[in-house]
Structure 1
Amino acid sequence: MTIAVNIRSEPADVSKPPVLEISNLAVSYRGSDGFQRVVHDVSLQVRPGEVVALVGESGSGKTTTAQAVIGLLAENGKLESGVVRLNGADIAGWSQKQLDTIRGSKISLIPQDPTSSLNPIKTIGAQVAEVLQIHRHGSRREIDARVIQLLSRVGLSEPELRARQYPHELSGGMRQRVLIAIAIALRPALIIADEPTSALDVTVQKRILDLIDELRSEYGTAVLLVTHDLGVAADRANHIVVLKGGRIQEQGPTAEVLASPRSEYTRQLLADAPSLSHVRTASRVRSQRVRGGDDAIVVENLVQDFTVGGRRSVLRAVDGVSFTVQRGTTHAIVGESGSGKTTTARSIVGFQKPTAGRILVDGIDVTSLRGENLRRFRKTIQLVYQNPFASLDPRQTIFQIVEEPLLNFDPLPREDRARKVRAILDRVGLPPSVLARLPHALSGGQRQRVAIARALVLDPQVLVLDEAVSALDVTVQAQILALLDELQQGLGLTYLFISHDLAVVRQVSDTVSVLHNGRQVDGGPVEDVFLRPGSAYTRELIDAIPGQRNTDSH
């Protein structure tokens, strides 16, 4: 795949000395067998006003490298060798007390998870003020004024109100803006942004990245951007460093790396990144498949209300949603957090009774089912959850996990159950050697294959995939999507694909419904919706897909 790139960001001024210079960095972690090296001889530079992206999958060493720079390695981590220069000073051997003098003032971190990174019992204002107080940046009154100024600068509405609120009262995007306010409070020379948007919706992600870019441009701040998302790196970085297994595979200007990747690993990452793979031959093949045939799922005027605050008020989570899914095809429901997509899926699976509307699955009226009939209906439709690390019982073996639905539904003899478990694990590409293992011994991709096997062991007609690939690295994601396509072709399965990732949706779906605040604002064949969106909201979602800004596929 060849990609032509037009980088929006101006190139770094090579006449200026690097803000950050890493030379031959090596990091180890202590385990049961002693220290094991996880970062090998990493070298890179970040100049003023430049964004350098550290790209790689889980376990590649990118976050460990970033943590080593700012001195925040885990307790069992050790910086074995190498040089870390910040504005010319080697800080690699500094004590935590010495590093405290520059954290926040010279170098700042925007962490990945805004939920766990903010103190739940301190107000937002107190947490932003803390970095100013540590570095004695003005009087109490001056600090209070600076806090309001910072919250306003990062785009939070009503900053005086936000300063008095607690983290749980803010959305994920708002909490991430607070972390950025803390990071820029003292205008550091270097900001390390560690997956700063991976947990956010695509439009919120774009706003956060735009904000970081504005601040970089305004203050001349150097940014080390840690990301697994090549689309984000393509849009935002001047320079890309590709890591695998703690070693640099290649690095260079973004345009060069994307247009002519030298390493096989980088070429694979590019091929597997949905947002960079604009040629949609699969979609064109799929669109021809949506012709005639009976409907596996029919949803008519679905309404789902929830009572909040006791019985004082009603929240309408889904408002008049209608769509059909032809047998053997994939229908995607897309939207941001709070759009109603997961609520819609739960109603279709029969986990909750709709307030109004009709749902037919394989000709069965789901809304009329009760008791044993509802329990037996679950054989027809199965759910695969988002997080393979949380959806499997850690105390059960893989065999027990896949066998359990058979014990609940099919009174088969033990030998027949064992035969069926082995057959379905083989179908999803897992070897017999995993049968006796516990989930913790498997990778994320292997765990999701187990979750798919558990869903398929009852021979359902419909699979509901609720963000089923969003927690996976891009190459593993590509493998699971290929597996799902193979299973659909081989078994005639119908998929309801719940996702916030429009790049993946375009790749795998035949038809799509776009939800916004519980209402369906767009729908139809996936290519029609992408090429001719019927709402401003859909256009905003499509425009926010990373990787489009600087790439045109050929």
Structure 2
Amino acid sequence: MTFSADQGTPVLEVSDLKISYHGGERYHPVVHGVSFRVEPGEVVALVGESGSGKTTTAQSVIGLLPANGHVDRGTIRLNGTDISRWSDRQFDTIRGARISLVPQDPGSSLNPVKTIGAQVGEILEIHGEARGKELERRVLALLECVGLPDPELRARQYPHELSGGMRQRVLIAIAIALKPELIIADEPTSALDVTVQKRILDLIDELRAEYGTAVLLVTHDLGVAVDRADRLVVLQGGRVQEEGRASEVLAAPRSPYTRQLIADAPSLSRSAAWVTATARSSTGTAATDDVVVVEQLVQEFPRPTRGEAPFSAVDHVSFRVRRGTTHAIVGESGSGKTTTVRAVVGFQKPTSGKIEIDGTDLSTLGGETLRQFRRKIQLVYQNPYASLDPRQTIFEIVEEPLLNFGNLSRLERREKTLAILSRVGLPEALATRRAHALSGGQRQRVAIARALVLDPQVVVLDEAVSALDVTVQARILDLLDELQQDLGLTYLFVSHDLAVVRQIADTVSVLRGGRLVDEGPVAQVFDHPGSDYTRELISAIPGRKHPAFA
């Protein structure tokens, strides 16, 4: 098939697209009459929360719908040619060559037993573009093009030897290898740190400008869409709620759903967030005692080579958290933030330094005393699905800590379990379900309920909202704030998302390479960052084209 579009023909034109999934006799429509177009060199963002139909729409464009997915109606035109009902064999002729995909998860998208060079070269071999020495030269040129240091070394390495940002660059190298007319970027940075995210999006933008490639950007992050897209297509429930130029949609959204997305996006609510941060900081300073005290914390791990100096994951970190406030620990992957909080909750013994929780020195605890101490401090993980037992009902999951730590009667446990489920906004009817039957937001509420059922004083939230859609994230943040006000909880909030930190925290510690590079009240650190690294983190927050940043 030859694609020779007339001047003025869109690279991609989707018209009245309807898609459904079939299972036995069940018929489940998920995309309802979606239409949009992408012009040459243009970036169009499909925006919406999970279940909005954005990924299904994108999959249909490149012919990668699941086996039970079906295009019921409408057309998908690539440079004027209708490809909506093409076979896999037909799609094989254009995937990579005319249209490419940058998937969300580089970890599961790269073959773990093939070298990076072999995987980048594969797309060139499949389409007969290069062989032998020429193939090697083209592979190294692509790796260099996407900014990977030492391309010859990277080509010999395997995916597990590269960072998440490096792996995503490899996927981009594969996507641009044959200079396609259209790149579909499906949540390409949602799993990356904010600074790595910025560099990856900058790279896609530079390549688009160089090659004139059109980009269909699929994202739930309205801040990213505002920064990077020329036009937005806002989806909800498989229907287009709003479409238009990004600046116009953000300045004057017509759809109530779009207005809610904007209100819920931390990176797009700068003014409100600053007021909140300032108010929270002034409230926090009224507290009279520090419930968490960390002084000169050092956490070292042995290296595999005998005689080699140990690896210092945390290097003399100190901070204090006042009772009833929220202290954030921020930094990129590898900064030491998760290692720090694991020491704070007593999961690992520090190499040196002191940790006190409500006046108790953790170094004096051990065995049963340490186990009972953990009632005071509870942890909520990033991924609620992975941390909830799939065999237990929701009631059993939340009740379990009471069985482990308490001596309440069965009736008292039932009353307390149902009460805390109600407190986090979960109806009693969900108590008999299992985790797989709940949404991501509901599962995170279960994880919070489990942490609170023992009446702790301190709750550690380790990237507890980073895996959630922006609207769900906003509801969970509201819930956390409400619980803190009502129960007097103290939060230690671990995150790489400074937009969320700006919204929820009173004070903040910024870590880099295991060392403290900035600290203080949130408003002070954001207004007057004390390190170049903190300034880089702040400048990488998406959504800076929004009028609120003007």
Pairwise same-fold verdict (TM > 0.5): yes
Asked whether 1:112 is paired with 2:107, we answer no
Corresponding position of 2:126: 134
* Residue of 62, 67, 75 corresponding to 1:70: 62
Give TM-score, length-normalised by structure 1: 0.96
Corresponding position of 2:9: 17
Q: 1:523 to 1:33 in 2, by over 3 A?
A: farther
CA contact (8 A) 1:203 1:541 kept: yes
What is the rounded CA distance, in whole Å, between the counterparts of 2:373 and 2:324 in structure 1?
Answer: 19
Corresponding position of 1:5: none
Question: Cα offset for 1:16?
Answer: 2.6
* Residue of 527, 530, 539 corresponding to 1:534: 530
Which letter maps to 1:283?
A: A
Corresponding position of 2:463: 467
* Residue of 229, 234, 253 corresponding to 2:226: 234
Corresponding position of 2:321: 325
Which letter maps to 2:541?
A: I
Question: Deviation digits for residues 179-201 of structure 1, max 9, x if unmatched?
Answer: 00000001000000000001111
Corresponding position of 1:504: 500
What is the rounded CA distance, in whole Å, between the counterparts of 1:126 and 1:377 in structure 2?
Answer: 52
What aligned pairs does 1:114-263 form with structure 2 within 5 A after superposition? 114-263=106-255
Which letter maps to 2:304?
A: G
What is the rounded CA distance, in whole Å, between the counterparts of 2:157 and 2:486 in structure 1?
Answer: 53
CA contact (8 A) 1:51 1:236 kept: yes
CA contact (8 A) 1:123 1:165 kept: yes
Which letter maps to 1:288?
A: S
Aligned partner of residue 390 in structure 1, secondary structure: helix
Corresponding position of 1:264: 256
Question: Cα offset for 1:154?
Answer: 0.3
Structure 1 runs (4+) greater than 6 angstroms displaced: none
Which letter maps to 2:214?
A: A
* Residue of 426, 449, 453 corresponding to 2:445: 449
Aligned partner of residue 320 in structure 2, secondary structure: strand
CA contact (8 A) 1:54 1:243 kept: yes
Asked whether 1:282 is paired with 2:276, we answer yes
Q: 1:131 to 1:366 in 2, by over 3 A?
A: same
What is the rounded CA distance, in whole Å, between the counterparts of 1:516 and 1:204 in structure 2?
Answer: 14
Question: Deviation digits for residues 68-103 of structure 1, max 9, x if unmatched?
Answer: 000001111111121111111111111111111111
What aligned pairs does 1:390-429 form with structure 2 within 5 A after superposition? 390-429=386-425
Which letter maps to 2:90?
A: Q
Corresponding position of 1:294: 289
Question: Cα offset for 1:55?
Answer: 0.2
What aligned pairs does 1:46-125 form with structure 2 within 5 A after superposition? 46-125=38-117
Asked whether 1:381 is paired with 2:373, we answer no
Which letter maps to 2:481?
A: D
What is the rounded CA distance, in whole Å, between the counterparts of 1:374 and 1:138 in structure 2?
Answer: 62
Query: More deviation in 312-321 or 52-61?
Result: 312-321
Percentage identity across aligned positions?
70
CA contact (8 A) 1:234 1:551 kept: no
What aligned pairs does 1:427-438 form with structure 2 within 5 A after superposition? 427-438=423-434
What aligned pairs does 1:28-43 form with structure 2 within 5 A after superposition? 28-43=20-35
What is the rounded CA distance, in whole Å, between the counterparts of 1:207 and 1:495 in structure 2?
Answer: 31
Question: Cα offset for 1:310?
Answer: 5.8
Aligned partner of residue 360 in structure 1, secondary structure: strand
CA contact (8 A) 2:251 2:547 kept: no
Question: Cα offset for 1:312?
Answer: 4.2
CA contact (8 A) 2:393 2:433 kept: yes
Which letter maps to 1:100?
A: D
Unaligned runs of 5+ in 2: 1-5
Question: Deviation digits for residues 382-423 of structure 1, max 9, x if unmatched?
Answer: 000111111111110111111100000111110011111111
CA contact (8 A) 1:61 1:244 kept: yes
Aligned partner of residue 45 in structure 1, secondary structure: strand
CA contact (8 A) 2:422 2:428 kept: yes
What is the rounded CA distance, in whole Å, between the counterparts of 1:98 and 1:442 in structure 2?
Answer: 38
Question: Deviation digits for residues 29-75 of structure 1, max 9, x if unmatched?
Answer: 11354221101111110011100000000011000000000000111
Which letter maps to 2:252?
A: S
Asked whether 1:367 is paired with 2:348, we answer no
Corresponding position of 1:6: none
Unaligned runs of 5+ in 1: 1-13
CA contact (8 A) 1:421 1:457 kept: yes
* Residue of 341, 344, 350 corresponding to 1:345: 341
Question: Cα offset for 1:287?
Answer: 1.4
